Amino acid sequence: MSDSLVLFAWIVVTLLTILLTIFLYLIVRKRKDYKWKKEVETYKQLYEPMLFRYLAYGDEQIIPPSSSAQYVAMMELLDHFIRVLVNGDIKERTTKLAETYFVDYLRMQLHHRRLGRRMNALFYIEDFGTRSLLHELEKMYEQKDVTTMEKRQLLKMFALFRHPHVYEYMKHVDESFTQFDYRLILSRMDDHTFTKMVDYFFDWNEKMQYALIDMIGIMQKFAHISFLRTLLQHEQSEYRIRALKALAEMAFPLEDDQLRIHLHSQVWQERLMALRLCARMRQHTLLDTIKQLMKDRVFSVRSQAAEALLRMPNGLAMLEQIAQTSDDPYARDMALEWLERGREDD
């Protein structure tokens, strides 16, 4: 019995010792972090006026950083300034300063054991446009232990820096990439590379295909209108829906006969996007069809039809007529809802 008590006491003392050690470590770590942040803030106050004058006028002498806290302070300030002071000259001076002072530090951070440090370095390289580190980024991308998060950021930077092999890199991404990831990468591509992506559209996976169509609309790529019009004839409805959505984003008009096909589609999402295009273009020649879609079985389609009518000349009057005379209760309710919205906007 006494041996059991001794063992129990030993276990308790050991656990208390471990907990005390962890507690002391956390205190020391917290104090160290506090001291570090305070040091960084002190250097920020020192660098802020001279960095601002350098970026604004280009004639200020900058004291080179010599410690990690100084590097972090300067980079955080520069990152802040280029987001607030949107100007080509400021961006150029930022890149010049980064190329002069930060390259060795950022190269070292790219090999840090902590993912957070490596990602921060990648973000700074992108923001500062530090192209001299492109070879380091290539080597990093080829490493076996590179994470998916790092690959996403690296591909964004390859696109931004117009890397000659970004197309080949994109051909070998894994399934974890989302449509949003692809959109971010595509948004940074120059017109030549983007066009190449579109030219080989059917070689890509579905997520990339959908992202390409969406980005044509979001980025207003009018050079690819004919491509979108081709997709409108495709047997796969998702292509047609996305193409209509992109055309609506660009407010590009379609002929009545073409739009009428999509307004009568069996796929409600296709009817919805065709109505969205009608609303953007105020296509009053299709009024009868739009009014008919106020009776659609799908709520979203009815709502979009009402919005399309509201955007037309005398839109409020047409909605009032539907609210008072329609034989469909859903159409009357929708007309009343959009009448209220229209009057609030007025």
Using CA atoms, how far apart are residues 327 and 318, in angstroms rounded to an integer? 15
- The conformation of residue 326, written as its DSSP 8-state character, comes to -
Structure tokens at 136: 């380091």
Using CA atoms, how far apart are residues 76 and 70, in angstroms rounded to an integer? 10
Structure tokens at 101: 């002072």
Residues 295-308: pLDDT tens digits?
Answer: 999 999 999 999 99
Q: Is the pLDDT of residue 200 over 70?
A: yes
Per DSSP, the three-state class of 143 is coil
Using CA atoms, how far apart are residues 239 and 295, in angstroms rounded to an integer? 26
Q: Is the pLDDT of residue 343 over 90?
A: no
Res 2: pLDDT = 66
**Percentage of the chain with pLDDT > 70?**
98
Using CA atoms, how far apart are residues 72 and 116, in angstroms rounded to an integer? 14
Using CA atoms, how far apart are residues 269 and 298, in angstroms rounded to an integer? 9
Any idea how long the chain is? 346
Using CA atoms, how far apart are residues 51 and 47, in angstroms rounded to an integer? 6
Helical H segments across the chain, by residue range: 2-57, 68-84, 88-101, 103-110, 115-128, 134-142, 148-160, 166-170, 179-187, 191-199, 206-218, 225-231, 237-250, 256-263, 268-281, 287-292, 299-311, 315-325, 329-345
Per DSSP, the three-state class of 224 is helix
Least confident of 13-17, 96-100, 105-109, 139-143: 13-17
Q: Where are the domains of the chain?
A: 70-174
Q: What is the mean pLDDT of residues 33-39?
A: 80
Q: Which of the two residues, 277 and 12, has the higher pLDDT score? A: 277
Band (pLDDT 50/70/90 cuts) for residue 345 is: low
- The conformation of residue 293, written as its DSSP 8-state character, comes to G
Q: What is the mean pLDDT of residues 158-180?
A: 90
Whether this prediction's pTM lies above 0.85 is answered by no
Res 336: pLDDT = 93
Q: What is the mean pLDDT of residues 139-167?
A: 92
CB 137 within 8 A of CB 146: no
CB 69 within 8 A of CB 39: yes
Q: What is the mean pLDDT of residues 104-119?
A: 93
- The conformation of residue 325, written as its DSSP 8-state character, comes to H
Q: What is the mean pLDDT of residues 61-86?
A: 87
Least confident of 27-41, 217-231, 254-268: 27-41
Q: Is the pLDDT of residue 22 over 90?
A: no
Averaged pLDDT score across all residues of the chain: 90
Q: Is the pLDDT of residue 37 over 80?
A: yes
Q: Is the pLDDT of residue 1 over 70?
A: no
- For residue 196, the one-letter residue type is K
Using CA atoms, how far apart are residues 149 and 138, in angstroms rounded to an integer? 15
End-to-end CA distance of the chain: 87
